[in-house]
Amino acid sequence: MKNSIRLVTCLFFVLLSSCTTQEGTIKKLALELGEKKFQEQLKIEADDSIKQSEWLNKSYQEFMLKKSEVEVVEVKFLTETKATAVVVVNTYPPSLRMTLARIAGGMDPGRSRSFNFAEAVNGIGKQIGKTPETLEHPLIMYKFNKTSAGTWVVEF
């Protein structure tokens, strides 16, 4: 009887660690993909609005990346070979980001290196009457499939 209980307990912990390992793998993949997607999104925002200065364009992207955090908030196993991961980003609201990019895009190219994004964000906050804060925004939900080799891949 004791051996049966030990065997069941061992199997339980093996299965539990297997699930958490798989969850960790999916989280890591989803986080990497989510960070890349957010960087691409910021590049599009910058390229659309900040055309006069490559330095200012890159500075906008760097500023927003420093003020943002991508995270995986949920991993759900649908079957043994299918899972989903929900990725969010804690960042300024899109309307504030667009306003900031438009302001930076209107800068004279000769004065672009003196532009201060943090001061501009505070100025936007004063205009709207509240302190700009980063908020959680949905980014993407990834679907994963487990291959016959045991690795998880994104379903496109």
Across residues 67-86, what is the average pLDDT?
Answer: 97
What's the pLDDT score for residue 129?
79
What's the pLDDT score for residue 6?
57
- How far is 104 from 91, CA to CA, in rounded Å? 18
Is residue 100 a contact partner of residue 42, using CB atoms and an 8 Å limit? Answer: no
Tens-digit pLDDT profile for residues 36-45: 999 999 999 9
Residues in the chain: 156
- How far is 39 from 94, CA to CA, in rounded Å? 14
Tens-digit pLDDT profile for residues 100-115: 999 999 998 888 889 9
Three-state secondary-structure class, residue 136: strand
Task: Return the closest-CA partner of residue 132 out of 110, 100, 105.
Answer: 100
